[in-house]
Amino acid sequence: MSIKIIALNKKARFDFQIIDTLEAGMVLKGSEVKSLRNGQCVLKDSYVSFRGEEAYLQNAHISVYKASSYNNHEPERLRKLLLHAHELKKLYAMMREKGVSLVPLKIYFKKGMVKIELGVAKGKTKGDKRDTSKMRDASREMAQSLRRAKT
């Protein structure tokens, strides 16, 4: 199974504690798919919202495809997410809790189809972010000292 990662949302993992993840498809136009094949996508401030009983990706910037003619797309338009009805109900119930949101973690190609990995997330406090940074720095230092000790 070949997976080609198009874009990662590193800021989401820093700002949020990811509780659960799931995979979804997206409804895209042809020029958007061609632009994604070139890797022109930014997920930095994007999120998922519900309109009625459907989920939509908002603020995801997929650049305009240069070689396209008048059939081009708007870079930050709403994009419908393809999920099963039971998944939509479960996600909607989780999002109704206080402080829980649904953020995209990465966009990738899987078997020629564009997929998006969504994360059910709770916001971190400033102290939590500091603890995460300290733990990451400590593990990096331990790995460096182990590498030095082996030589």
Which tens digit of pLDDT belongs to each residue from 65-79?
888 777 788 888 899
Give the domain CATH number at 113: 2.40.280.10
Q: Is residue 71 part of a domain?
A: yes
Which tens digit of pLDDT belongs to each residue from 77-99?
899 999 999 999 999 988 888 88
Q: Is residue 147 part of a domain?
A: no
Q: Is residue 65 part of a domain?
A: yes
Q: Is residue 139 part of a domain?
A: no
Q: Is residue 97 part of a domain?
A: yes
Q: Is residue 151 part of a domain?
A: no
Q: How many domains are there within the chain?
A: 1
Strands (E), 12-138: 16-26, 41-42, 47-51, 54-58, 61-62, 79-82, 100-110, 113-123
pTM of the model: 0.79
Domain range enclosing 54: 3-124
Q: Is residue 140 part of a domain?
A: no
